[in-house]
Amino acid sequence: MEKKIYFDHAATTPVDPRVLEKMLPYFTEKFGNPNSQHWFGRQTVSAVDEARDTVARLVGAKSSEIYFTSGGTEADNWALRGAAYAMAHRGKHLIVSAVEHPAMITTAKELMKRGFEVTFAEVDEYGAVDLEKLERAIRPDTTFVGVMTANNEVGTLQPVKEIAALCKKKGVLLFTDAVQAAGALRLDVKELGADMLSFSAHKFYGPKGVGVLYIRSGLKIDKIVTGGHQERSMRGGTTNVPAVVGLAEALRLAVSELDENAAYVSSLRDRFIRRVQREIPFVKLNGHPENRLPANANFSFRYVEGESLLFSLDLKGIAVSSGSACSSGSLEPSHVLLAMGLPEGLAHGSVRFSFGRHNTAEEVDYAVDALKEIVLKLRALSPLFPKDLKNEVFPEEK
Amino acid sequence: MYTEKVMEAFRNPKNVGEMEDYDGMGMIGSEACGDIMQVFIKVKDGVITDAKFKTFGCAAAIATSSTATEMIKGMTVEEALKVTNKKVIDVLGGLPPQKIHCSVLAEQAIKAAIEDYQNRHAAKQI
């Protein structure tokens, strides 16, 4: 197959050539360490300062509230571990939503081994945190609530503002992982009301290996990467200057082109969803039907396992990801889909399609056509597919 | 992560389907685990003359089903019982570690089909 179609933008995106251009000088001629006193070092200090100012302005924060990290996972780790230990004298109960990214879930489980108690906040059938249940889960010794801005697997947006109001009322810190939301939705930390927020450049056409943790001024959390005086002595390690410059430029472009990109990408997504629902029987759209990321479509294909779907699409040049156990390398299917109450069979048959600004309607149509053929073939192979059902026909059309 | 042989067996699986007049049928796995394998065999004079399968599962599960059913065709029942998951993996040129359980499933499904055949056979002789 010559054709290569990339529908996995929630995993990562290509670096925008305009971003790369901004980064390149900082690999070669402007290579200095911003911590160095001499001319070479001083030359890069302003680049890092500018990047920080740009990021701060774009998310409605102060420059002093922006910390550069090695990516979303480090930022999530820092927020959760840093807050948990800093507040441990007040209480050792933490709440994270059941649909958080593994960067949060795994970290929370580590903290459970170190004397913290963790409640995994329940979600509804669409993957949105249940506010009433969350309120009931908050105890006097709760110090931290972590709820992502938008879910990486099913794209559902969380009621972050409402959760922020609740946390404020209860005197609990709120952290929101905005890795999937940044660049796709308008983000303003003051408007959202979160005390901490994280994101990562490679999700919005920036480089990999660089992210941000916003920490509201006045809030003191523990460091987790200890070392030199970088990031106001809060995060050691030589600043990745080209990456930081790239992150800021990528965010600037994403925000300035946000409306047109979101409109375009969501039109592709809607075309895809419409066609799949009309033309392939026994499918389920996972996540909220409207309240979701513009780029995300997540479907379960009944009687079919997700990894075999993924590889069949891959053989036709179409790149997607799957929540099946077999694709993740574990034995459990997606914790997100299970938390939403999806039966295990459907969770194993889930595939995520995430669109980007370089995709076209023709690619969407090609993928749907390929998908129809693949699902037919895999269902013919499946011992679960009931003999009395016609593979190619919708139940209501019989 | 998959060898070319695994991808080929997944792309063009052999022996797909069901048998109406099978002599033995075995089904192993569960929807909850994400893998179900169903194997049908036809036996004449103690020799497996035909084998078919249906599988719900990942690429490795489908590839091992195809390869394992292909291997047992023409074998005596006793020989087929000695087909281990390791032999199936060798034919496929290896499997990633987290996929080994898929090949175990193929071995078990074949054993279950043979057991079913032996039970039916014994019942007929009584």
A391 touches chain B (CB under 8 A): no
Mutate to test the interface with A, among B19, B30, B58, B95 (most CBs of A within 10 A): B58
A211-215/A196-200 β-pairing: antiparallel
| B25-65 pLDDT per residue, tens | 999 998 887 889 999 999 999 999 999 999 999 999 999 99
What's residue A332's pLDDT? 76
Q: Find, in chain A, the residue whose alpha carbon is nearest to that of B36.
A: A383
A289 in contact with B at a CB cutoff of 8 Å?
A: no
Same domain, A300 and A170: no
| Separation in Å, CA of A381 to nearest CA in chain B | 5
Q: What percent of chain A has pLDDT over 70?
A: 95
CB pairs under 8 A between A and B: 71
Are the beta carbons of B34 and A327 separated by less than 8 Å? no
Mean pLDDT score of chain A, rounded to an integer? 95
User: Are A285 and A329 members of one domain?
Assistant: yes
Taking the C-alpha atoms of residue B50 and residue A12, their distance in angstroms, rounded to an integer, is 46
Q: Dump pLDDT digits (tens) for A323-336.
A: 776 655 566 789 99
Average pLDDT over residues A180-193: 97
C-alpha triplet A180, A183, A184: angle, nearest 5°: 65
- What is the predicted pLDDT for the residue at A386? 87
Q: Do A326 and B16 touch (CB under 8 A)?
A: no
DSSP lists the bridge partners of residue A157 as A150
H helices of chain A, in order, are 17-23, 39-59, 72-86, 102-112, 131-137, 160-170, 189-192, 230-233, 241-256, 258-279, 306-315, 325-328, 335-339, 344-348, 361-381
**Which residue has tokens 């999530």?**
A76
Report the pLDDT averaged over residues B97-118: 92
Do A224 and A279 lie in one domain? The reply is: no
Phi, psi of A74 (to 5 degrees): -65, -40
**DSSP secondary structure, A265-285, as one string:** HHHHHHHHHHHHHHHSSSEEE
Residue A287 lies in a domain: yes
Within an 8 Å CB–CB cutoff, is residue A263 touching chain B?
A: no
Residues A372 and A225 in one domain: no
> Residue A325: which of B2, B10, B34 has the nearest Cβ?
B34
Query: pLDDT class for A396, splitting at 50, 70, 90?
Result: very low
- What is the structure's pLDDT at B28? 94
Is residue A317 within 8 angstroms of chain B, CB to CB? Answer: no
- Cβ neighbour number for residue A114 with a 10 Å cutoff: 11
Tell whether A345 lies on the interface with B, counting CB pairs under 8 A.
Answer: yes
Number of domains chain A is built from: 2
The residue of chain A nearest to residue B101, with distances taken between CA atoms, is A331
Q: Which range, of A35-44, A164-173, A384-393, B84-93, averages the lowest pLDDT?
A: A384-393
Place of tokens 């103690």: B46
Residues A161 and A104 both lie in one domain: yes
Cβ of A326 within 8 Å of Cβ of B58? The answer is: yes
* Chain A partners within 8 Å of B59 (Cβ): 307-308, 311, 326
Would the ipTM clear 0.90, i.e. be above it? yes
CA distances A251 to A46, A77, A150, A172, B100, Å, are 18, 22, 17, 29, 43
Active-site annotation of A, residues: 326
CA-nearest residue of chain A to B37?
A383
Check which CATH number belongs to the domain holding B30 and give it.
Answer: 3.90.1010.10
The residue type found at A331 is L
pLDDT of the residue at B125: 74
Burial A185-222 (b: 16+ CB within 10 A, else e): eebebeebbbbbbbbbbbbbbbbbbbbbbbbbeeeebe
- Same domain? A43 vs A171: yes
Dmax of chain A from CA atoms? 78
Angle between helical axes of A39-59 and A241-256 (0-180°, round to 10): 30
Residue A221 Cα distances to A88, A118, A301, angstroms:
11, 18, 44
CA atoms within 13 A on the CB side of A154: 31
Task: Give CA–CA dist A292/A308, Å, rounded.
Answer: 26
pLDDT at A297 over 70: yes
Residues A110-134 have pLDDT tens digits of 999 999 999 999 999 999 999 999 9
- How many separate domains does chain B show? 1
Give residue A327's pLDDT.
Answer: 54
For residues A27 and A131, membership in a common domain is answered with: yes
pLDDT value of position A329: 58
Which of B56, B64, B69, B103 is best to mutate for the A interface (most A CBs within 10 A)? B56
Among the partner residues A329, A331, A383, nearest to B55 by beta-carbon distance: A383
User: Residue range A125-149: average pLDDT?
Assistant: 98
Task: Supply the pLDDT for residue B121.
Answer: 86
* Residue A3, helix vs strand vs coil: coil
**A341 assigned to some structural domain:** yes
Whether B55 and A381 lie within 8 Å, measured CB to CB:
yes
CATH, residue A298: 3.90.1150.10
Residue among A305, A310, A332, A378 with most chain B CBs within 10 A, to mutate: A305
User: Among A222, A256, A290, where does a domain finish?
Assistant: A256
**pLDDT surpassing 80 at residue A276:** yes
Range of the domain at A54: 17-256
Mean pLDDT score, A24-33? 97
* Cβ atoms < 10 Å from Cβ of A268: 22
Which residues of chain B are within 8 Å of residue A382 when distances are taken between CB atoms? 54-56
Structural domain span for residue B49: 4-125
pLDDT at residue A394 tops 60: no
The distance of Cα A84 from the centroid of its chain, to the nearest Å, equals: 22
What is the torsion angle, in degrees rounded to the nearest 10, for the CA atoms of residue A344, residue A297, residue A60 and residue A207? 90
B11, B27, B60 member nearest A315 (Cβ): B11
Going by pLDDT thresholds of 50, 70 and 90, the confidence category of residue A395 is very low
Answer yes or no: is A51 within a domain: yes
d(CA B19, CA A44): 71
pLDDT for A42-71, tens place per residue? 999 999 999 999 999 999 999 999 999 999
**Tokens (6 digits) for A53:** 């100012």
The reply to whether A316 falls in a domain is: yes
CATH number of residue A92's parent domain: 3.40.640.10
Cβ neighbour number for residue A223 with a 10 Å cutoff: 17
| Nearest-CB residue to A383 (from B54, B59, B102) | B54
How many Cα atoms occupy the beta-carbon half-sphere of B54 within 13 Å?
21
Listed in order, strand segments (DSSP E) in B10-100 are 24-30, 35-44, 47-56
Q: Residue A354: pLDDT above 90?
A: yes
Compare CB distances from B32 to A303, A327, A344 and report the shortest one's residue: A344
Q: Beta-carbon neighbour count of residue A60 at 10 Å?
A: 15
Task: Give A397's pLDDT tier (boundaries 50, 70, 90).
Answer: very low
